[in-house]
Amino acid sequence: MNLIWQAYLRNRGAIIQDGRVVDYGHNAAELESTRSATVVSDLSHFGLIQFSGEDAQSFLQGQLSCDVNQVNASAALYGGYCNPKGRLLASFLIWSQSSSNGGGYVMQLPAELGLGIQKRLAMYVLRAKVKLGDTSDIQIRLGVAGDDAEALVRKNLGQIPASRLGVIQGESASIIRLAQNRFELVVAPEKAPAIWEGLSKDAIPVGASCWDWLEIKAGIPIITPATQEQFVPQMANLEAIGGVSFQKGCYPGQEIVARSQYLGKIKRRMYLANIRPRVSENPVEAGDELFGADMGEQSIGMVVNASPSPDGGFDVLAVIQTSSVEAAVVHWKSLAGPSLEVTPLPYPLS
């Protein structure tokens, strides 16, 4: 996290641990506000990798699951980076940026994965004219969400993208529309305080876990160290949110990803659910295994992401064997553990 920005947020009541805003002293109230009001959140818990140089587009096209040719000054994409076995090493949001901000492409992913993914991708640059750099502290990212988010962003920045994953590169900030009522602003550090002040007049500042909850409810998978190399992209519904292209050329794991799509039904899919642990039990976390009576002691799935729910317990994204969801109650951690209440995702699955 940018140290000057960190000091600024602390002066406004933020409790920060390991570069992540925990909350502003009112965790439960902030979570309820995220459901019912308009909120603003610092997104420094995500890292940024910048790719610049004349071969940046072709290099990324040969490494990532999404069609990088569709990423331009006005359009962002979700995507995945796989190992040769087609298992996700990272999921991300990628956009291009104006030359005034250094040009090239920016990949946003969890900060704890940034250095490792950057080093791995750098191994494959070879003779390509591409430079990779960590720009996490050079650009401040703010999230705005809620019924009044569109009006609030327009009020403070003058314009907004019209469509989902649309981008506007403005003088004060780049604006990415994540959903109808959810936006990300990418801001230069020197401009961030003024924009934060303007937004926080009408939006409630909330911690990173509140933004995590919004991502979960939107069905956006975020691969973390606990879930690296566990899922092919379709298991995490990445193709359903535009993160996989089946028309582009090769990339690591592409043959397995394509075979999973065309030569058989995906046996595991990502579901949205709620889990209510007992008071004596630990919180639900990414990487926790799931079980069902139909498979006995054999795991039938894994939690991808989890966050406290304003309705109680934890809302989760979980990859689960589809036959088990249809045939049996799914349990957290063991057959004796709390059951999952599966709810509809906000997008269809093929």
Residue 51: which residues within 8 A CB-CB, separation 6 or more? 59, 60, 104, 105, 106, 107, 130, 131, 132
Rounded to whole angstroms, the Cα distance separating 241 from 300 reads: 24
Q: Does residue 169 have a pLDDT over 90?
A: yes
Q: Does residue 55 have a pLDDT over 80?
A: yes
Banded model confidence at residue 29, pLDDT cuts 50, 70, 90? very high
State the pLDDT at residue 101. 66
Pairing of strands 182-187, 173-179: antiparallel
Rounded to whole angstroms, the Cα distance separating 94 from 161 reads: 16
Q: What is the pTM of this model?
A: 0.95
Q: Name 332's bridge partners.
A: 290
Reported as a single tens digit per residue, the pLDDT across 219-255 is 999 999 999 999 999 999 999 999 999 999 899 999 9
Phi-psi region of 252 (alpha: psi -120 to 50; beta: other; left: phi over 0): beta
Question: Would you mind telling me the total number of residues written for the chain in this entry?
Answer: 350
Tokens (6 digits) for 47: 């890292």
Neighbour tally for 17: CB within 10 Å: 8
Determine whether 348 is exposed, middle or buried from the number of CB atoms within 10 Å of its CB (0-12, 13-18, 19+): exposed
Reported as a single tens digit per residue, the pLDDT across 269-297 is 999 999 999 877 899 999 999 999 888 88
Q: Does residue 77 have a pLDDT over 70?
A: yes
Banded model confidence at residue 100, pLDDT cuts 50, 70, 90? low
Q: Are 27 and 310 in contact (CB under 8 A)?
A: no
Query: Quick one: which H or E segment has residue 208?
Result: helix 208-217
Domains of the chain: 1-221 (3.30.1360.120), 225-343 (2.40.30.160)
Q: Are 101 and 141 in contact (CB under 8 A)?
A: no
